[in-house]
Homo-oligomer: A and B are copies of this chain.
Amino acid sequence: MTHLARPIRIRRTPFTDAVDAAGVSIYSVYNRMLLPAAFDGFEEDYHHLKRHVQLWDVSCERQIEIAGPDAARLADMITPRDLSKMVEGQCSYLPVVDETGGMLNDPVIVKHGDDRYWISLADSDLLLWVKGIATALKMDVRVWEPDVSPLAIQGPKSDDLAARVFGEAIRDLRFFRAARFPFQGHQVLIARSGYSKQGGFEIYVEGTENGMPIWDALMAAGADLEVRAGGPNGPERTEAGLLSYGADMTDANTPYECGLVKFCKLDKPGDFIGKSALIKAQEDGPQRQIRAVAIEGRQPFCDRPWAARVGGHFAGQITTAYWSPDYDCTVAIAMMEKAHWTGGTEVEIETREGPARGLVRDAFWA
């Protein structure tokens, strides 16, 4: 493996010194910002995440703030999802497509009010697209990146840890709802959400200077819960079918190919970008789609797409693959062609280190 250069261009977070001190061994770069990828190794981190509780520096989930009289109109224009019934404090998973119907990002939108939204980004500068639209249409809205750095609490002991620091009421917070909880005299915005299937929260830390007090309080309160620093975990998120924008889907894919049909309401009131392209895509039906694939044995890291073949013919491609200790196989995410996407289909995978047998599944593992 090679080292990572760390110029200012690859942004630090409010927690970077603490992450370094905690012994991060592998960094990723996400939205031009440092994202811790591993500490003791993918597998050791995986076992810990499934048993205990971790703090994840996911500051790289940068926010787009849309604020002003045209905020609701702009938010509605950039997605096929119907936002009309969204209430304050609600989070919604948000497919965003361009004029060709291709995915530009798959963020989570948080509604603060009819005139104020945050969009918590996956890995693309969607801010620039939204700014371009608002500027071109001279909309009465401000679109910018506020100083907000999400810090995730993930793992089965998340509720216990959060309750110690933010109060017992946080246990009643529903999934994909956000509310404010007290911390050292502030009211901190916290959502029940996160990029794992182990349960937990995302704290929207407002103001760089407010990050470390929260980190330190959680670490101190969770010592007996074995809290430690972590990050989104490759094998765990793959078992759960949590997609990675830029790997498992790109702007070459429609939401239908990504299995996001339930978030597309093409007859919602008003126009939105990509509507005619999505109507056609829906009529045609997807010709390829995201699937879970179990690959035998322990395969190498997937740093480039691996072709999947059936009888020598191209059947799809693997974009994520990790050894899963709990399922005793390499768990993988693939974009499979329609003729070969049925659960139970046997495929031959061309991994970086040679051929391997795989099995298309009807569902992800977790």
Given B2, B124, B128, B245, which contacts A26 in the complex, CB threshold below 8 Å?
Answer: B2
**Chain B residues closer than 8 Å to A126, beta-carbon distance:** 128
Instruction: Report the Cα distance A187→B75, complex, angstroms.
Output: 46
In the complex, how many angstroms separate the beta carbon of A95 from the nearest chain B beta carbon? 16
How many angstroms from the CA of A125 to the CA of B98 in the assembled complex?
A: 14
| A98→B133 CA distance, assembly (Å) | 12
Which of chain A's residues 2-28 have a Cβ closer than 8 Å to chain B?
Answer: 2-12, 20, 24-28
Contacts of A32 in B (CB 8 A): 29, 123-124, 246
> A99: CB under 8 A from chain B?
yes
* Residues of chain B contacted by A7 (CB below 8 angstroms): 28, 234, 244, 247, 302-303, 320
User: Chain A, 22-66, contact with B by CB distance < 8 Å: what is the 0/1 string?
Assistant: 001111111010000110000000000000000000000000000
Q: Chain B residue with minimal CB distance to A234? A: B7
Any B CB within 8 A of the CB of A304: yes
Query: Which residues of B sit under 8 angstroms from A276, Cβ to Cβ?
Result: none
The answer to whether A28 touches B10, judged by C-beta atoms less than 8 angstroms apart, is: yes
Please give the residue numbers on chain A whose beta carbons come within 8 Å of chain B beta carbons, in ascending order: 1-12, 20, 24-30, 32, 37-38, 98-99, 104, 123-126, 128-133, 135-137, 234, 244-247, 273, 301-305, 319-320
